[in-house]
Amino acid sequence: MFFKAGKNRDGYFDADDLLQQVENAIDIFKSKTNRFATGLFLFDNAPSHQRQAPDARSAHKMPKGPHVTWWHHKNGPKMRSTNFGVDNTPQDLYFADDHPMMPGWFKGMEIIIRERGLWPEKGLNAQCEEFKCVMGKTDCCCRRLLFTQPDFANQKSHLEEYITSRGHICDYYPKYHCELNFIEQYWGAAKLIYRTSPKTTDMKEMEENVKNSLDDVPLVQIQR
């Protein structure tokens, strides 16, 4: 299968496409192993691989006070509830739908922090100027304080959440170490072969040359 990237072609391969591909890969893996094995799925640190789910916890765009129309993503779902503290106390980030004053409103960072018992007497700004917090400070502003809370700091990517929900393991290669990623070695070997193929301006011939270059890389070299 050839994926032709571009606005007027096959579009672009994004995080949603990757999730669909991973879903298919897990289905194949389970059918091949009769569901008796746990798979390790490895990815590089591309931004699309690290994207969080639409309802994931994030203080990135949160307003300081209650807001009737705030959503983390436009037309997306509400941000998921959470748990905090040593007692794993549950916390909703929105007021209940039957709240007498603000039904269904987003609580805002200040109330979320107050409910955790972390609001200082001197108060906090929503964020430091240009979000340039003092090095080492964790309570200089609302946003930094929430960013450093364990439930926010440990928020997993959508990819990792999905893979672990299927009973498998997700991990990432270290940044800037493409030599550890076998697919990069495979791709590099295929490009070397392609450069030796006959030059052509015909698109179909180019596609055939690409296919042949990918097929000509020995399995031993791919798995090395």
Give the pLDDT band of residue 66 (cuts 50, 70, 90). Answer: very high
pLDDT of residue 32: 94
Task: Give yes or no for residue 3 having a pLDDT over 90.
Answer: no
Q: Do 165 and 214 share a structural domain?
A: yes
Write the CB contacts of 168 (distance below 8 Å, at least 6 apart in sequence).
26, 29, 38, 39, 40, 41
Task: Give yes or no for residue 223 having a pLDDT over 80.
Answer: no
Q: Do 196 and 213 share a structural domain?
A: yes
Q: What is the pLDDT of residues 91-121, one digit of tens each?
A: 999 999 999 999 999 999 999 999 999 999 9
Q: How many domains does the chain have?
A: 2
Least confident interval from 4-8, 77-81, 139-143, 198-202: 4-8
**By residue range, what is the domain housing residue 47?**
15-52+160-223
**Residue 46 forms part of a structural domain:** yes
Least confident interval from 5-14, 130-139, 199-208: 5-14
The residue out of 102, 126, 155 marking a domain boundary is 155
**Residue 60 forms part of a structural domain:** no
Nearest to 105 by CA among 113, 91, 94: 94
- HEC sequence for the chain: CCCCCECCCCECCCHHHHHHHHHHHHHHHHHHHCCCCCCEEEECCCHHHHCCCCCCCCCCCCCCCCECCCCCCCCCCCCCCEEECCCCEEECCECCCCCCCCCCCECCHHHHHHHCCCCCCCCCCCCCHHHCCCCCCCCCCHHHHHHCCHHHHCCCCHHHHHHHHCCCEEEECCCCCHHHCHHHHHHHHHHHHHHCCCCCCCHHHHHHHHHHHHHCCCHHHHHC
The residue out of 98, 120, 155 marking a domain boundary is 155
Q: What is the pTM of this model?
A: 0.81
Q: Do 165 and 149 share a structural domain?
A: no
Q: Do 93 and 39 share a structural domain?
A: no
What is the chain's Cα-based Rg? 24
pLDDT of residue 76: 85
* Residue 206 C-alpha from the chain's centroid: 34
Q: What is the pLDDT of residues 17-65, one digit of tens each?
A: 899 999 999 999 999 999 899 999 999 888 889 999 999 999 999 999 9
Q: Please calculate the CA angle 22-26-32 and round it to the nearest 5 degrees.
A: 145
Q: What is the pLDDT of residues 169-222, one digit of tens each?
A: 999 998 878 778 888 888 899 999 999 998 899 988 999 999 999 999 998 887
